[in-house]
Copies of this chain bind each other. A is one copy, B any other.
């Protein structure tokens, strides 16, 4: 019995390792080469497993996409301290880290491109965006609600998203701080 448990544990560890390797390889392919290249053959080669193994556990390309997002793990977030301005700056820095270190901008673009046509990818996108925005939305809800809150969240995200999408790099610290000062002054005055 004890040796049976040990066997099961070894098997579990092997499966877990396969899962981790495939998830990591899927994310690498997705952020470096895009969804078009996220195929079983490509991921199998990079992860070092057979195509048969991949097809057995993750039959569809959407399964590989889900695996890639699992490799993203928890998005980095700031833990609010109560200083609204400092908390917003720190949260945008966390967003910038997710772009620079995890390729979050690439992931969002892939999800945007495919979310419109594949329901399951649309749901994956909604989950990721909800996680990504939840600290910023909670912080800004101190000053706004309803449509004003949604407008403020879009503007705050835009501080990081727009330079990344349009100029190829996230904003520097000074731009982030100026943006937050404008946004907070606007929410307090309007």
Contacts and interface: CB of A to CB of B under 8 A. Distances in A.
Interface of A: 34, 36-37, 105-106, 108-109, 112-113, 115-116, 122, 125-126, 129, 132-133, 144, 147-148, 150-159, 161-168, 171, 174-176, 178-179, 181-190
A179 B140 CA distance: 13
Contact of A154 (B133, B152, B159, B181): B159
A105 B113 CA distance: 10
A129 B166 contact: yes
A148 to B, nearest CB: 5
Contacts of A163: 150, 154
Given A129-B166, A162-B157, A171-B154, A147 B178 contact: yes
Q: How many copies does the complex hold?
A: 2
Contact of A188 (B125, B183, B189): B189
B179 A182 contact: no
Contacts of A109: 109, 112-113, 165
Contact of A113 (B34, B125, B181): B34
A158 B147 contact: no
Nearest to A153: B162
B166 A151 contact: no
A59 to B, nearest CB: 23
A158 B168 contact: no
6 contacts: A112-B165, A116-B168, A151-B178, A155-B155, A158-B161, A186-B186
